[in-house]
Structures are given as C-alpha cells and as structure tokens.
Amino acid sequence: MIEYYPDAADIFEVISSKIQLGNVRDFLKKRGVLFVANNRKDIALYVCRMFFGFEDYEELKSYIHEKSNFKKISGIELNTGKDMTDIAEIFASKKGDILNNTDELKIESITCRDKVVEIDISYISKKPGKVDLIRKERREFKIEIKEKDDKKMALVHHKSSEDYTKVIEVITAISKTLGDPNELLPQKIILERLPVHLRIKFFDKLLLYKYDEWYLEDVVSIKIRKGEELEDEEIEETELRGIAEAVLRGDNLRTNEIVKKFERSGYYFSGVTMKLAHKHIPIKILLEVIFKYRPEQPEISIKDSVEVIDGNESPIILPKHQQDLYLTKFWEVFEEIYYGILNEAQVE
Amino acid sequence: MPEEQNVEGDRWLDKAIEILKALGWKQRGDKKVDISSPNSGTSYGIDAYFTYNDPYENTTIGIIMEAKSRQWKSVNSNFLEREIKRLSEAIQAINLNGDEFNQKLNFNEASKVNSAILMLWVNDHNYNREKFIEYLESVEIPKKWKLQRIFIASNSEILRFCTIIETYRELMSESQGTFRYYYPSLTLTKYEPKRLNYLTLEYLFSKYIFGKMTVQTTTGKTQIPMNITVVLYFDEISLNALKLMYNALIRFQLLDEVDEVRIYFNKPLHHYRSVLEEFKRRIPPKNNIVFKFEQMKIAPSDVYQWRRSE
C-alpha cells in the first residue's frame, strides 16, 4: 500500500521503464487522457506532473511487470455434513480469536453473500529479512467457501504457499473447537487420491478440454513425478514437442507412445503449463495447472500474459479482478475433471 | 433535426469557451476557424484555440478545443474514435501549416501545439459515467510519430470544472484577490514553485489541485494576515486516500509557514463525517496548523445554469 506520496522522479521511472506501454495507455485512457506516442519517456514526463490519488497509484503498482502481479488460485475441499449457514456460523463464532499464538493467525471478518461464505484472514509472516534478522509482515487474504453438487470447497487467491497452509490451519483450528472435530475436516485435493492409472487421464482431459473463452495454442511444459519420489522433473524438449503436437492434433494422451513410455517407467504427470489464446480479446496467457508436492497443494496460476497488437505479442499485466475471474473459471474446469475422475475411480 | 442540432451545437460551443476562459485559458483568434493540411488539402474546423504558459515547460502551449453536444445514444466508442482521429489530424495539420495557423490563430506566438481537448456534453439525462469509461477503454488511439495529447472531458469533468470555477471565485473574494493555484517544484523540472491564476490540463485531470492565499483576520484592533494552503480534493474520501494527500502536502512543502490548511471536497461532507474525524485525529500536531474541511459549491447538473459572472 502506498503511504508516501511518490516523487516525480519515481513516477517517471515507473512509467518509462517499469510498466508496459499498453498498461500505461490503458491506465490513462480510462481517465480521459489519451497520448498519441510511442515513446514511454515522453509520456512519463507529462504524467509525472499530474497529481494522482490513492487508487490510481495502487493501480499503477499492479501493472509493474513482476511476479507478484500475476495471480494464482488454490482450493481445499471441506469434508463436512454441515450446511453453508452452519459453516458460516461456526467460523463467525471464532472471529477475532487468535488461532495461533506464534503468528497471530485470526479471522478478521465473515460475510455471507449469495450462498458464498467469504472469510478474511490475517497473520504475521516471518521471513529472513535483508536488513532485519527476521522481517515481519502482516498478511491478509480471503477464503471463499462455495458449495456445488453437495461438495464444499474453500477457494483462495493466495499470494504464497504460506497463505494456503494457513487456510488449512484455520479450518483445523476451527474444527477442534467443535464437539466432534470430524464434523469439519480439510481434505486436500491431491493427485495421489486418484489411482495411478487415472492420473494421466486428468491431464489428458485438461489439455483436450474445450473452453468457452479460450483455445489451446501450445503446451509449454509438463512436469512428471515418479511413484514414491515427491520430486518433480520437467520432461525434455523433444519429448515435450511430441506430446504437445499430439495434443494440438486432438489425440488422446493415453494413446501417445511417449506418454506410455513414461507410464511404463512409473511416472505420471503432476503439472502442465499451457499457452491459451482468448477467443474474443487479443490476449494470451501462460497458465500453469499443477499439483505441488511441497506443500501438497493444487494450484492454477497465470505465469505470463501478452496483448496481441498488429500480430505481435506485447507483455501486459491483466487487471487483478480480470485475472481472478479467469482463474475462478479455470478452477471450475479443474474441479469438474478431478471429481469426475474421482467418482469414476470410486465406481470401479 | 439539423437546425436544432446547430443551435444546440453553437450554444454548447459558447458555453465550453466560457468555461475554459473562466479556468484562466486565453482564447486566440475566432471560433470555428478552418486550417487545412498541406499534404492532403483536407480542411479541419477548429472550434476554438486557447493558450497558456506551461509552468513546467516554461513555454506557451496551444490547445485545440472541440465542443460536441450529443444525446447519450449517439455516444459510443466509434464516435469517440472518430473525434479523436480528427483531433489528432488537426493537430498535425496545424504543425505542418505554419502560415495559415499564424494568420488565423497563432499570430506568430512561439507556442507548442500538441494538445487538444474534446468537451463532450451529453445533453439528455442519460449520461452514465461507468459506461463512458468503458467506451474510452475500447477506443483505439491513432499512431503518430510526434507526441500528441488528447483530453476527453465529458459531463463529470465539465461539471467538475464549473465547481472549481465557483470555488475559485469564493476563494478570490475571501482572500481579496490573493488566491493562486500553486504549482509545486517537481524533481526533473528545473523551476521554482509557481503561483498562477489558471489551471493547466494536468491539473484539470488530477485528483488534487493545490492553492495558496492570504486572508486578513482581525483580532481585536489588529489585522493579521493568515497564510492558507488550499486543497481542492477530488480523490475518494477514505482514510488511505486522505493520508496520501497529507503526505503530498509534506512532499510539496505545503505545510511550511502556513497557518491553516483548508481542504475542499466536492461531495456532501455529512456522509463522510466519521472518516474525516478519524483523519483529523491522525494528523500530527505540527506548528499549530489548523485543518479545516469545507464543501465546494457543486455546479448544477444542467451546465447551462452555470454562468460566468464578470
């Protein structure tokens, strides 16, 4: 959060070299200011003479081309027979209580809106610091609990894996306060819940999925994992190309020779990065869908994004709310495939 | 009907000129002057042309003004794109056709012409700010080698300009004419802070406008001059935003040698009492500066009800 008013030289620096022209242009357009120019420095000189307000600078910050401005989503299933109203009340009853003394983990507020329970959580993150020995930072994030087909899912647009582990911690802490802790348990969404022979099927379905708004342009990387080892490896370029081409042709992964070779050696896929092009807006994204192993966490994240202008790809940071919207939709696809296969496995 | 549109068009043109003059801009030459492009021969009708001296470039800049009055249903991205394209070409024509420009508008003044302002008034009651911003977002900007700036002022901005003018009048009256808009010294520019009686394009599209004035107060038999820093505040009224503005006052040395800081808001203050009280409580007591919150005199929603008084 910006607290000190930016210096003109800093604004110049940010506009002329830290933010893509496309983002600068869009930022100004919304405010009624149109620059006909191809030179960021010229634009920066004028912009640093304007006096912007709080949200303006927050928005500018969000366009700075750095990892933290690309968003992610993760989720955890809630194993519970309780209904949404009960769940909301259970969490609400613990609002304000410190759930963990070492990092002051607590529930700040709860809102129930359209059958979605939103919970704001905060905690103090302690990391080795550059100046201080330990750098403490108060972190805040939101959990959304949604219900679909009798399944309750806690979703989080996390910034780091630490946020995700805190979600599990909150749910566990809350469940301990119930008469029977088994009434509300976090259930991780991990690949290992699927029988080995169906794990490839997950990625098969994911890669061949027909999205409403996107089409698959390329498979950029695939991560593999072997049986008991929880280390991931990237597959080699030639093999990746082979698989990618097959996918783009619409072939089933399970019939692919390279994939079969991996399976025979005891490997299965644990993550994939896809290049997706939007069907209506001239943007493309690199989307990673991965079952991480440390911590065990399913994660969908936007790794990069570009705008297509005159046939050329130009880096751009998509507005945060837009990224969140896309990620939520991708998560729905993820859930559909994962639970589809899980149900199939249980029937077998 | 075309005749009605012409009447409304002219009426709006005159009002738009009145507003920009009241903001301190100098109109040059006549309204509705044609300048042709030496390359294509196309003629561009310039509704009005204004100049002011830019305090940060220390040069006179010239601004083309295009006034359009339209019903909401005629306003969309295509319309805006056409107007923007026209303005961009008009700026280019002016820069290429020095002779005609000098004869009709510039009169040999050394001025930099790279800016235009579209004053778009939506004349039925259907103006929708969010929708308008959506239109702006999908506008494609023309491509030119030389930098051009095109500003779009629609109803929200235009009424804000009128509100600023009204507040300016009150401040001039109270300060016996000493009120001036304050242009802080900025790193990257080499000039001292300036106090001027007109507003630049940058200020018109900013979230704060700073000003300074001296007000004579009487204590007993003596008249004491009070130095007041004025802020015309257009950002959201939230604690974070107010704190940021306070830090701007510090950065631009607007708390130095000042007895009072007066912040004007263009929203009804009583809705924000809680936030304003909290903000006041958090201001460090420094040099006994008094902080006052005032409300700007909001312009009527019908721009024609606003009049510049001489």
Backbone phi and psi for residue A217, each to the nearest 5 degrees, phi listed first: -100, -35
Cβ contact A301:A287 at 8 Å: yes
CA torsion angle A17 A23 A24 A29 (round to 10): 170
**Token output for B95:** 């820069």
Q: Which residues of A touch B207 (CB under 8 A)?
A: 51-53, 56
Count contacts between A and B (CB, < 8 Å): 116
**In angstroms, rounded to a whole number, what is the distance separating the alpha carbons of residues B85 and B91?**
10
Q: Which residues of B touch A319 (CB under 8 A)?
A: none
**In angstroms, rounded to a whole number, what is the distance separating the alpha carbons of residues B52 and B165?**
17
Nearest chain A residue to B242, by CA: A54
Nearest-CB residue to B240 (from A9, A36, A54): A54
Tens of pLDDT along A161-204? 888 999 999 999 888 888 887 888 889 998 888 888 888 889 99
Which pLDDT value is given to residue A56?
94
Which pLDDT value is given to residue B310?
47
Give the pLDDT of chain B (310 residues) as one tens digit per residue.
Answer: 566 668 889 999 999 999 999 999 999 999 999 988 888 888 999 999 999 999 998 899 999 999 999 999 999 999 999 999 999 999 999 998 888 888 888 888 888 999 999 999 999 989 999 999 999 999 988 888 789 999 999 999 999 999 999 999 999 999 999 999 999 999 888 788 999 999 999 999 999 999 999 999 888 888 889 999 999 999 999 999 999 999 999 999 999 999 999 999 999 999 999 999 999 998 888 778 999 999 998 888 888 888 766 4
Which pLDDT value is given to residue B254?
95
Query: What is the mean predicted confidence (pLDDT) over A143-156?
Result: 90
Instruction: Report long-range pairs for A178-184 (Cβ below 8 Å, ≥24 apart).
Output: A178/A90, A183/A80, A183/A81, A183/A82, A184/A78, A184/A79, A184/A80, A184/A82, A184/A87, A184/A90
Q: Which residues of A touch B200 (CB under 8 A)?
A: 49
Nearest chain B residue to A13, by CA: B188
Nearest chain B residue to A23, by CA: B137
Nearest-CB residue to B247 (from A3, A9, A30): A3
Query: What is the mean predicted confidence (pLDDT) over A34-44?
Result: 88
Cβ contact (<8 Å) for B248 and A37?
no
Which pLDDT value is given to residue A159?
83
A27 min Cα distance to partner chain B (Å)? 9
A324 min Cα distance to partner chain B (Å)? 19
**In angstroms, rounded to a whole number, what is the distance separating the alpha carbons of residues A165 and A181?**
19
Check: pTM over 0.90? Answer yes or no: no
Cβ contact (<8 Å) for A36 and B234?
no
Tens of pLDDT along A250-299? 788 878 888 888 888 888 889 999 999 999 999 999 999 999 887 789 99
A26 min Cα distance to partner chain B (Å)? 7
Tens of pLDDT along A298-313? 999 999 999 998 888 9
Cβ contact (<8 Å) for B88 and A36?
yes
Q: Which residues of A touch B142 (CB under 8 A)?
A: 36
Cβ contact B164:B199 at 8 Å: yes
A5 min Cα distance to partner chain B (Å)? 5
Cβ within 8 Å of residue B47, ≥6 positions away: B13, B16, B31, B32, B64, B65, B66, B67
CB atoms within 10 A of CB B108: 9
**In angstroms, rounded to a whole number, what is the distance separating the alpha carbons of residues B165 and B15?**
13
Tens of pLDDT along A244-256? 888 888 788 878 8
Cβ contact B41:B47 at 8 Å: no
Which residue type does B269 have?
L
Which pLDDT value is given to residue B275?
95
Cβ contact (<8 Å) for B209 and A51?
yes
**In angstroms, rounded to a whole number, what is the distance separating the alpha carbons of residues B213 and B199?**
16
Say which DSSP state A38 is in: S
Work out the percent of chain A whose per-residue pLDDT is above 70.
Answer: 97
Nearest chain A residue to B246, by CA: A5
Higher local confidence (pLDDT), A85 or A326: A326
Report which secondary-structure segment, H or E, holds A285: strand A283-293
Nearest-CB residue to A32 (from B136, B208, B234): B136
Cβ contact (<8 Å) for B84 and A57?
no
Cβ contact (<8 Å) for A34 and B188?
no
Nearest-CB residue to B247 (from A5, A31, A50): A5
Cβ contact (<8 Å) for A32 and B244?
no
pLDDT at A128 over 80: no
Nearest-CB residue to B151 (from A5, A26, A32): A32
**Token output for A186:** 């976090």
Q: Which residues of B touch A56 (CB under 8 A)?
A: 207
Tens of pLDDT along A223-239? 888 876 667 888 888 88
Nearest chain B residue to A281, by CA: B138
Which pLDDT value is given to residue B117?
98
Which pLDDT value is given to residue A182?
83
Nearest chain B residue to A2, by CA: B244
Cβ contact (<8 Å) for A55 and B241?
yes
Cβ contact (<8 Å) for B207 and A36?
no
Q: Please give the ipTM for the structure prediction.
A: 0.94
Q: Taking an 8 Å Cβ-Cβ cutoff, which residues of chain A contact chain B?
A: 1-5, 7-9, 12, 25-26, 29-39, 42-43, 45-46, 48-57
Nearest-CB residue to B188 (from A4, A34, A48): A48
Nearest-CB residue to B247 (from A4, A30, A48): A4
Cβ contact (<8 Å) for A49 and B245?
no
pLDDT band at residue A119, thresholds of 50, 70 and 90?
A: very high
Nearest chain A residue to B130, by CA: A30
Pick among B149, B200, B275 to test the A interface (most A CBs inside 10 A): B149
